[in-house]
Structure 1
Amino acid sequence: MRRSTLAGVAAATLLALPAGAQQAPLSQDNQLSNPGSAFVGDGRRAAWHAEIERTERGFRIGNPNAEASLIEFISYTCGHCATFAKEGEGALDLTVLAPGHMNLEIRPVIRNAIDLTVSLLVQCGDVSGMKDRHRMFLTRQDSWMAKAQRAPQSQMQSWARGDRASRANMAAALDFDDMLANTGMSRVEISACLADDEAALALIRNGDADREEFAVPGTPSFALDGELLQQVHSWDALYPVLSEHFRPGNAQD
C-alpha cells in the first residue's frame, strides 16, 4: 500500500470536483412505493437509522447485523455527492435503514485539502451527531464552495498545504467553525479537531486503503455487500440495484 502524508494533499487540485457519471434526476414515476419491489418501508416505527457507530474507515448508520451492507464513497467537494445526499440518503433512511434491512457506511474520499478539513470536522464531536454533520456540509455545499472559489489565489495555495494552520484558516474563511458552533459544539473542540494531525493522516491512509481494495473510480461510488457497483454514481442509478436486491424472492429472510 502506498503511504500518504499531508504533503501529498498539496499535489491535488484544490477545488477540482471528482469525476462521476452524469445521471438524470429521479423521475416522478420511479418511486419507492413500486409494488413490485420489496424496497419499501414496512410500516413499523423502527429507528435503526438513528444508530451510528465509528468504523475503521468511516462511520456506519443502521443495524450492524442487517442482511445487506452498502458503502458510500464520497468527497465533500463533489457536486454529485451533494445531489445524492439530497435525493437518496433520506429515502434510504425511511425504506431500508430504519427497519433494519440494510446498513450504510459512509467513507470519505480525500481528493484535496478542503475534503480533508471537512472530513475532520464531520468526525469531530459526538458520534451520534456524525450523520447530521455529514449532511449539513453536503446540503450547504453550494454556499461554502462559492466562498472557496472566491478566495484569493494566495489563500488557496496556503490551504493546499493541508497542515493544521491552513485547516484552521480555511475553517474560519469558509465559516465551517460557525456552522459547527451553531450546532452546539464548543470552539475549543472545533479547534482541537482541526489541529489533529494524526486524525488527518488516518483519513488519508483510509482513502488509500479503499482505493487499493475497491479501485473507486469517482464519487459518489458504492459497494454492496463488499462488491463495487460498476457505473453507479447517483441515486437514480443506485435505486434499481437496491430495488432488485430487495425484490420478493431475492431478499433474505
Structure 2
Amino acid sequence: MTVTRATPFRRLAIVALAAPLSLALAGCNGSDDPEGAPSGEAIAAIPAPAGTTWLDTVTVTPEMGYLVGNPEAPIKLVEYASHTCNACAFFATNAKTPLKENYISTGVVAFEQRELIRNSFDLVMATLVQCGPKESMQPLSDQAWQSFSDIMNGIQANPEAVNASGELPPEQRFVRVAEVTGLIDFFAARGLSADQARSCLADTAKIEAIAKASDEQAKEFNVTGTPTFFLNGSRVEGISWEDIEPALQRAGARKE
C-alpha cells in the first residue's frame, strides 16, 4: 500500500466544478499523527428495538456521514474513506463482515463512513452511493470496493473523454464522467437506475456540499489520507482490521 497526501481539499471543492477533470489515482494512507485508542471496561450487548436489527439501522450524521448500527452506541468508529483508495478497498473486503457480525450487531459499536474527496472520481462515486435510500449507501460503497480493479480499469480506459467532459457545463460534467468510465452501468446493475444516477450527478448543489464537507473536516481533524479511523473521537493508529479490532476490544467491545 502506498502513501500519499490527498488532493488539496479547498482547491478540489472549488475547481472540481469549474475546470477539466484529471486522473488522480495515487495511493492512500492512514494517519500522520496517530493518537492512542481509548480503553475501558467490557460493555454488554445492547438489544435493538423490537422488530429491528442494528445492522439495518442507518443514520445520516451532521457530518454527512452514514452511520450503521445503534446511533447511541457507546463505541463509535469513524472511517474517512476514498472510493479510489486501494487500502479502503482492502478494508471493505476483509474487515466489514467481522465488523458487522461481531461488533455492530451487538449494539455496542456503530460504524460511520465519511467521504474524503481526493479527486474528481471520488466525488462522482460519493454522489452515486448517496443517490439512493440511506440504507444503500454503505452496501453500494462496499460493492464498488469489492470491484476495485474493474472500476479503476474503467476510470483509466478513456482519459480523453474524461478530460473532454471538463468543457461541459457543471450540471452535465459529472454525468458524462460517469458515463464514459462505466460507473452509470456499474451502479445500474446494483439497483441504482441510470436515470436516477444522472439526476443525482446533475445536482451541483449536492456535489458541492459533499466536497465542502470533505474539505472542512479534513482541515478540522487533520485528515490527510485514506483510510483514517477515529474511535470515540481519538485517531486510531493503523489502517487494517488487525489494527482496528484490538482498538475496539480495548474500548470495551469484548466479552469477559
1:49 corresponds in structure 2 to 55
Q: Distance in 1 between matches of 2:167 and 2:111?
A: 32
Q: Which runs of 5+ in 2 are unaligned?
A: 1-8, 31-40
Matches of residues 167-206 of structure 1 in structure 2 within 5 Å? 167-206=174-213
**1:188: how far off?**
2.1
Taking only aligned residues, the RMSD between alpha carbons, in angstroms, comes to 3.2
Cα contact 2:21–2:165 (8 A) shared by 1: no
SS of the equivalent of 2:106 reads coil
Cα distance in structure 2, aligned partners of 1:11 and 1:242: 42
* 1:98-109 equivalent positions in 2, closer than 5 A: 98-109=105-116
Maintained 8 Å contact 2:20/2:163: no
Superimposed CA distance per residue, residues 155-213 of structure 1 (whole angstroms, 9 cap, x where no aligned partner): 34235679332311221222222222223333321111110101111111111121122
Partner residue, 1:7: 15
CA distance in 1, matches of 2:43, 2:98: 10
- Measured in 2, the distance between the counterparts of 1:39 and 1:145 equals 41
- Given the superposition, is the C-alpha separation of residues 247 and 189 from structure 1 closer, same or farther in structure 2, using an over 3 Å criterion? closer
Give the Å deviation of 1:248.
Answer: 6.1
Residue type matched to 2:15 in 1? Answer: A
Q: Distance in 2 between matches of 1:109 and 1:186?
A: 25
Find the aligned partners of 1:237 and 1:89 in 2 and give their Cα distance. Answer: 14
Aligned ranges 1:104-123 → 2 under 5 Å: 104-123=111-130
Letter in 1 for 2:208: L
Measure the CA separation in 2 of the matches of 1:11 and 1:185.
26
Q: Which residue in 1 is equivalent to 2:37? A: none
Q: SS of the residue aligned with 2:84?
A: coil
When residues 91 and 149 of structure 1 are mapped into structure 2, their CA distance, relative to the original with a 3 A threshold, is same
Structure 1 segments of 4+ aligned residues over 4 angstroms from their partners:
1-4, 8-13, 37-42, 159-162
Give 1:69's aligned amino acid: K
Instruction: State which of 148, 158, 161 in structure 1 corresponds to 2:164.
Output: 158
Mark the CA change 1:135 to 1:147 in structure 2 (over 3 Å): closer, same or farther: same
Partner of 2:221: 214
Contact kept? 2:16, 2:120, Cα under 8 Å? no
* Structure 1 residue runs without a partner (length 5+): 22-36
Superposed counterparts of 1:135-146, under 5 Å: 135-146=142-153
Change in 2 beyond 3 A, CA 1:11/1:95? farther
Question: Is contact 2:109–2:253 with CA below 8 Å preserved after alignment?
Answer: no
> 75, 83, 100: which one pairs with 1:93?
100
For the residue of structure 1 that corresponds to 2:122, the secondary structure is helix
Residue 28 of structure 2: aligned partner? 19
Partner letter of residue 93 of structure 1? K
Does the residue aligned with 2:107 lie in a helix, a strand or coil?
coil
Q: 1:14 to 1:2 in 2, by over 3 A?
A: closer
Contact kept in structure 1, 2:175 and 2:198, CA below 8 Å = yes
Q: What amino acid sits opposite 2:249 in the alignment? A: S
User: What's the counterpart of residue 4 of structure 2?
Assistant: none
Moved more, 134-143 or 160-169: 160-169
The alpha-carbon deviation at position 12 of structure 1 amounts to: 8.3
SS of corresponding position for 2:192: coil
Instruction: Determine what percentage of the aligned residue pairs are the same residue.
Output: 27
Output the CA distance in 2 between the equivalents of 1:79 and 1:245.
27
